[in-house]
Amino acid sequence: MPQIFRRSANSYARLSLLGALLLAGGLIGLIMAIGSSSYVTRANEFIEQPIQFSHLHHVGDDGIDCRYCHTSVESSPFAGIPPTKTCMNCHSQIWATAPFLEPVRSSFRDDRPLRWIRVHDLPDFVYFNHSIHVKKGMGCETCHGRIDEMPLVLQQNSLQMQWCLECHRAPEQFVRPRSEVFTMGYRPAVPQSVLGPQLVKEYGIQSLTSCSTCHR
Amino acid sequence: MLGPGHTFESVTEKISAIVMTRRTPVGWFLGFAIAFAFLMLLNVTIGHLLLTGIGIWGNNIPVGWAFDIINFVWWIGIGHAGTLISAILLLFRQQWRTSINRFAEAMTLFAVACAAMFPLLHTGRPWLAAYWLFPYPNTMNLWPQFRSPLIWDVFAVSTYFTVSLLFWYTGLVPDMATLRDRAKSRSAAVIFGVLSLGWRGSARHWQRYEMAYLLLAAISTPLVLSVHSVVSFDFAVSVLPGWHATIFPPYFVAGAIYSGFAMVMTLAVPLRKFYGLEDFITMRHIHNMTKVMLVTGMIVAYGYANEAFFAWYSANPYEQYMMANRMGGPYAVMYWSLIAINAVMIQLFWFRRVRDNVMLLFVLSLFVNVGMWLERFIIIVTSLHRDFLPSSWDMYAPTRWDFAMFTGTIGLFLSLFFLFIRFLPAIAMFEMRTLVEEETHELERPGMV
């Protein structure tokens, strides 16, 4: 009876063992890498808006305080998108005829809101509260990045639960004085390792990681 | 344990002929077609389930677990006899396991495949259950709750399936080599050649093989005892009267082996008849299987008595009501059918005349399968539908989709089993050959015969 397999089958058998291991390991690694990649989280991706509103210009150049537009950030769970009226406070006079701003004017004329595209879009089973974070000394920059340098807003962090928990488990790494919450480019005067625990104590920050903190 | 006049060659020829040379009997095609039709019913049911939701079943708020878990426990229980035969009887050096272990192991695998479907599909969101139940580093920093017996189920069942598969495959390797060497066509030779992993049957191969097989048996034995214990914890860990019973682990395992042997019997009787395997699956095997069923059935009957006694002995009104409800409530017919089958009918197995009557045993083993299904129904449904708060009492009635899912898994089981019979040796040839060897030596010994 002739041999069923040629000698080369030896190599195939060995390679397939190695290949199966590599394939399994590689697949698991790949799935995990994709899961936390910005391909899934859409982080660092510029998102086209109905009007190319530039934070770089309004915050960076003009020095408008965050709360001028996002008025409810200190008192409400939702930081608020400014209504068209807020835009028109200035733009009824400034660049009043610029074609670029026509959508704002028509929104004002027709009393129809501008349809901004949400960049930081948490799933609706997460009840995020802005006011408590601001109250406990969490700077805008920590979560949203250098908004004053963004011509178009992009999501700088993954917004994945592991990212939220990173801070909820060790808030002293990120807390800053309440007076500095709205400062872009804040650098602590004392090392964070000293200041952080102090502020945590002072503001009575708890490490809240129970389910009901967010998923009510 | 073996018909007279068998040689290595005749044993191998007879078993491998089913796979290799003999024409596939019409009965096989007929049986497979019927089983496959039911498998398609399963597919339709699963499709409907995924699209519509688990509300297509009859489960309600007090009775959140019903056919889905009854069938899960039933199937996983059936699987246990396969491991008992192949592992525990190996540790006890029981040679009568030899001719039934292969298809009993296959039965285990296919029963676990049917069983595993239920824990996944009975969840409202199977697409999440499929992976959130496993501990893996994820972007949510979330892990499963290791205190829930449902999580232990995931580990128990997946380990059980993996180890059973490995055990079964290890047993198949030398037989695959036999099939490879007897293959008539090049393609069969290549397929069995790959599957037999280059088995040459050298002394070194055999020495290591025996050790590996023994170790696997030693691993499978505590596994089989723990898997069904873990399944019993699904109930025993809860606070429900009728569930929170500490006898559950051993009693569930005994029930599993009891129902599993009934299924082995149900499969063995037609198998030996249609394929003419009376020389291999002899009356001695049938007798021994019946005796194991009798022993485990008596343990199960003891479990029923124990449950009833401790319900009374507890002096707890809820426990006492639970038992009164089983015996006289709306599901009393099912309770008494259960007692009639598992505690009364099983007593027939004491009689040699019953054990000699293969056809009767086949019918009785079917009854045992029904009885053990009723046991899970009684434990799950009657404990749930009337418990602490009378305002939360309700009745449970299955819908047609409950039945479709159940019969569908039977279709899956039988389809796999038919394929197994056709394409793999249903009896372990190399183990039968060692049996031939031993029986010949016994005959040659002076003073014998």
Instruction: Calculate mean pLDDT across residues A180-184.
Output: 93
Say which residues have a Cβ less than 8 Å from residue B6's Cβ, sequence separation at least 6. B279, B436
Give the model confidence (pLDDT) of B364-413 as tens digits. 999 999 999 999 999 999 999 999 999 999 999 999 999 999 999 999 99
Closest CA relative to residue B214, chosen from B160, B167, B158: B167
The distance of B141 to chain A (nearest Cα, Å) reads 5
**Tokens 């704002």 sit on residue:** A104
Give the model confidence (pLDDT) of A75-88 as tens digits. 999 998 999 999 99
B272 pLDDT above the threshold of 60: yes
Contact residues, chain A, for B142 at CB < 8 Å: 161
Contact residues, chain B, for A4 at CB < 8 Å: 180, 186, 189-190, 193
Band the pLDDT of B446: cuts 50, 70, 90.
Answer: low
Instruction: Calculate mean pLDDT across residues B262-267.
Output: 94
CA distances from B224 to B80, B157, B221, B245 (A): 6, 10, 5, 20
- For the four alpha carbons of B243, B246, B252 and B255, in that order, the dihedral sign comes to negative
A20 within a domain of the structure (yes/no) = yes
Say which residues have a Cβ less than 8 Å from residue B293's Cβ, sequence separation at least 6. B258, B261, B262, B265, B346, B349, B365, B368
Instruction: Calculate mean pLDDT across residues A102-130.
Output: 93
A101 within a domain of the structure (yes/no) = no
The structural domain count of chain A equals: 1
Say which residues have a Cβ less than 8 Å from residue A173's Cβ, sequence separation at least 6. A167, A192, A196
The distance of B234 to chain A (nearest Cα, Å) reads 24
What's residue B1's pLDDT?
A: 75
Interhelix angle B67-83/B149-182, nearest 10 degrees: 50
| B5 or A199: which leads in pLDDT | A199
- Residue contacts between A and B (CB atoms, under 8 Å): 24
Contact residues, chain B, for A122 at CB < 8 Å: none
Contact residues, chain A, for B138 at CB < 8 Å: 35, 162
Instruction: Calculate mean pLDDT across residues A97-112.
Output: 92
Closest CA relative to residue B196, chosen from A2, A5, A21: A5
Lowest mean pLDDT among A30-34, B114-118, B150-154: A30-34
Contact B149, B237 (CB under 8 A): yes
Q: Which residues of A touch B (CB under 8 A)?
A: 4-5, 13, 32, 35-36, 158, 160-162, 165
The distance of B193 to chain A (nearest Cα, Å) reads 8
Contact B7, B290 (CB under 8 A): no
Is B139 within 8 Å of A165 when comparing Cβ atoms?
Answer: no
Q: Give B242-293 as a 3 state SS string.
A: CCCCCCHHHHHHHHHHHHHHHHHHHHHHHHHHHCCCCCCCCHHHHHHHHHHH
Q: Which of A11, A15, A162, A211 to mutate to test the interface with B (most CBs of B within 10 A)?
A: A162
Radius of gyration of chain B (CA): 23
Is A4 within 8 Å of B190 when comparing Cβ atoms?
Answer: yes
A14 within a domain of the structure (yes/no) = yes
Of B137, B139, B189, the CB nearest to A160: B139
CA atoms of B320 and B322, how far apart (whole Å): 5
B276 pLDDT above the threshold of 90: no
Instruction: Calculate mean pLDDT across residues A59-79.
Output: 93
Band the pLDDT of A47: cuts 50, 70, 90.
Answer: confident
The distance of A36 to chain B (nearest Cα, Å) reads 6
Instruction: Calculate mean pLDDT across residues B226-232.
Output: 95
A3 within a domain of the structure (yes/no) = no
CA atoms of B223 and A174, how far apart (whole Å): 49
What's residue B443's pLDDT?
A: 64
Average pLDDT, chain B: 92
Q: Which of B125, B128, B139 to mutate to test the interface with A (most CBs of A within 10 A)?
A: B139
Band the pLDDT of B449: cuts 50, 70, 90.
Answer: very low
Contact residues, chain A, for B140 at CB < 8 Å: 160-162
CA atoms of B154 and B129, how far apart (whole Å): 10
Secondary structure tally for chain B: helices H, strands E = 18, 0
A32 pLDDT above the threshold of 80: yes
A120: helix, strand or coil: coil
Is A161 within 8 Å of B139 when comparing Cβ atoms?
Answer: yes
Of B138, B142, B193, the CB nearest to A5: B193
Is A5 within 8 Å of B138 when comparing Cβ atoms?
Answer: no
Contact residues, chain B, for A160 at CB < 8 Å: 139-140
A29 within a domain of the structure (yes/no) = yes
What's residue B448's pLDDT?
A: 46
Is B141 within 8 Å of A162 when comparing Cβ atoms?
Answer: yes
Q: Which residues of B touch A (CB under 8 A)?
A: 137-142, 180, 186, 189-190, 193, 198
pTM of the complete model: 0.92
A54 within a domain of the structure (yes/no) = no
B188 pLDDT above the threshold of 80: yes
**Tokens 């050096």 sit on residue:** B93
Band the pLDDT of B95: cuts 50, 70, 90.
Answer: confident
Closest CA relative to residue A118, chosen from A108, A105, A106, A128: A128
Lowest mean pLDDT among A17-21, A87-91, A199-203, B93-97: B93-97
Lowest mean pLDDT among A53-67, B2-16, B50-64, B349-363: B2-16
What's residue B401's pLDDT?
A: 96
A52 within a domain of the structure (yes/no) = no
Contact residues, chain B, for A11 at CB < 8 Å: none
What's residue B24's pLDDT?
A: 86
Give the domain extent around A20. 8-35
What's residue A91's pLDDT?
A: 93
Is B142 within 8 Å of A161 when comparing Cβ atoms?
Answer: yes
Direct distance between the N- and C-terminal alpha carbons of chain A, in angstroms, rounded to an integer = 72
Q: Which of B132, B136, B138, B141 to mutate to test the interface with A (most CBs of A within 10 A)?
A: B141
Is A32 within 8 Å of B137 when comparing Cβ atoms?
Answer: yes
What's residue B130's pLDDT?
A: 85
A117 within a domain of the structure (yes/no) = no
| Burial class of residue B194 (count of CB atoms within 10 Å of its CB; 0-12, 13-18, 19+) | middle
